[in-house]
Amino acid sequence: MDKRVYGVIGISSIMANWNADFSGYPKSLSDGTIFGSDKALKYPMKKMWDNEGQKVLYMKSMKFSPQKDGIVTLVPNSLKERYEKLFDVDDLGKCKDAKEVLSNLMSAVDVKNFGATFAEAKNNISITGAVQFGQGINKYSESVAEEQQILSPFRDSSKDKEKDEEAKNSTLGTKIVSNEAHYFYPFSINPSAYKELVTLGVTDGYTKEDYLNFKRTALVAATSFSSNAKEGCQNEFALFVETKSDTYLPNLSEYISFEKTDVNKIIIECNMLNELEDVLNIEIYYNPETTVLESNLPKAKIYNLITKKEV
């Protein structure tokens, strides 16, 4: 692919928790601004690729681990074990061909997009990904964390020896969600990031097919991913700006303002894009049923996020 791509992915979270910190509350900056890390967006994309049968290296997988006392525990695979399983390698430590390792890494769809840090069995490899995400800032100023008490159907057996009423009762749990939040993630795609790896003969570079696979997944990954905390999170907006390879654009999420009145109202203010001759194509995806889009980009093609048909 001989062009760069810049854009924004918008994620809505309604009575859900898109990205929690270690306290269970939505991640926030020191000034209270809620945000989502790039990992929170990458994970549903990797999970979707994994479910489709594509090779995903950086994905948690489990194995049974027999102990000396005969007890069998369930533990996560190490990176080395995940690599060996994914690429059908008996022992990575016995592999003396760095080109083979690099070629295998670049055949994994998550590495091809996001890069990798791979330091296993005498291999020390760092790959800067062609796709780079920024942090997703919540642009809805009235987001509030809601804490829900959940009653478990079971008692805490660890308190059986205690002579108190607590041991006789079911345990309580807590679920923390945002009443509503709207995250906007900036991203950029630089196909020339793999120029040296192409020269080494370990990859054919970041191709148009790679980009289309990324775009297809980025448009639906949050919606497709379902967990207790993520149920209520979905894709709601996407902006893709294709430029010439020597064009450099700033963080496009800064040009998007979000306002909510009776309906969600997303206003795109990217006048500067109209003045750039090197912009090849602009695409905007949104859901007309939940969002009012005000766009002043005559070059842009507008699509329905759900049907993928041009509006």
- What confidence tens digit (pLDDT) does each residue in 207-230 have? 999 999 999 999 999 999 877 668
SS3 195: helix
- Give a yes or no: residue 298 inside a domain: yes
- Cα angle vertex 264, ends 180, 283, to 5°? 110
Q: Which two tokens stand for residue 141?
A: 């100023």
Q: Which of 55, 61, 11, 6 is nearest to 37 (CA)?
A: 11
- Give a yes or no: residue 58 inside a domain: yes
What's the pTM value of the predicted model, to 2 decimals? 0.91
- Give a yes or no: residue 108 inside a domain: yes
Q: Which residue has the tokens 């990904």?
A: 129
Are the beta carbons of 24 and 76 closer than 8 angstroms?
no
Query: Average pLDDT for residues 259-284, to the nearest whole number?
Result: 82
Residue 55, burial from CB neighbour count under 10 angstroms (0-12, 13-18, 19+): middle
Are the beta carbons of 282 and 241 closer than 8 angstroms?
yes
Q: Which residue has the tokens 């898109």?
A: 18
- Give a yes or no: residue 311 inside a domain: no
- What confidence tens digit (pLDDT) does each residue in 89-145 have? 999 999 989 999 999 999 999 999 999 999 998 899 999 999 999 999 999 989 999
d(CA 307, CA 130): 28
- Give a yes or no: residue 256 inside a domain: yes
- Give a yes or no: residue 309 inside a domain: no
Q: Give phi and psi for 47, each to the nearest 5.
A: -65, -40
Q: What domain range is 79 assigned to? A: 3-304
Q: Report in angstroms the alpha-carbon separations of 147 from 16, 23, 32, 37.
A: 11, 12, 17, 22
- What confidence tens digit (pLDDT) does each residue in 51-83 have? 999 999 999 999 999 988 889 999 999 999 999
d(CA 210, CA 134): 20
pLDDT at 126: 96
Query: Average pLDDT for residues 23-35, to the nearest whole number?
Result: 94
Q: Which residue has the tokens 């000034």?
A: 31
Q: Based on the structure, what is the number of domains in the chain?
A: 1
CB count within 10 Å of CB 302 equals: 15
- Give a yes or no: residue 67 inside a domain: yes
- Give a yes or no: residue 49 inside a domain: yes
Q: Which residue has the tokens 């980025």?
A: 218
Q: Which of 64, 125, 100 is nearest to 90 (CA)?
A: 100
